[in-house]
Amino acid sequence: MSTVERTVVGRKTPGDGKLEVSHALSDALGGDGAFIQVRLATDDLGGRVEVMECTCAKAGASGKHEHHFVQCDAFRALTIGTELVLRAGDGTLEVAQV
């Protein structure tokens, strides 16, 4: 695995199955539209990398900003506020609770 980061399950994740990740992690998984393997607990599942443009407060003066997500239906079962360690590389994302 090449890229490791920590994140917290956001308030929208249980509703849409999307876990926000960094640009670097998104790239390590193959970038926008890449189909990947997601390892969550003992399950191997399918997922997809998604990049979305928005105009949130992070956009600053440019008016543009991208958010990077991994979408996997199993993420709907995650609890808001749970801390996770993500390990990404070679088209695989390993997700573990801290």
Domains of the chain by residue range: 3-97
Q: What's the whole-number mean pLDDT along residues 76-95? A: 94
Q: Maximum Cα–Cα distance for the chain, whole Å?
A: 44
How big is the chain by its Cα radius of gyration, in Å? 13
Q: What is the pTM of this model?
A: 0.85
pLDDT digits (tens, 9 = 90+) for 47-79: 999 998 876 666 566 667 789 999 999 999 999
Q: Contact at 8 Å (CB) between 84 and 8? A: yes
Q: Out of 3.90.550.10, 2.40.330.10, 3.20.20.70, 4.10.80.400, which CATH number does the structure's domain 3-97 have?
A: 2.40.330.10
Any bridge partners for residue 98, and if so which?
none
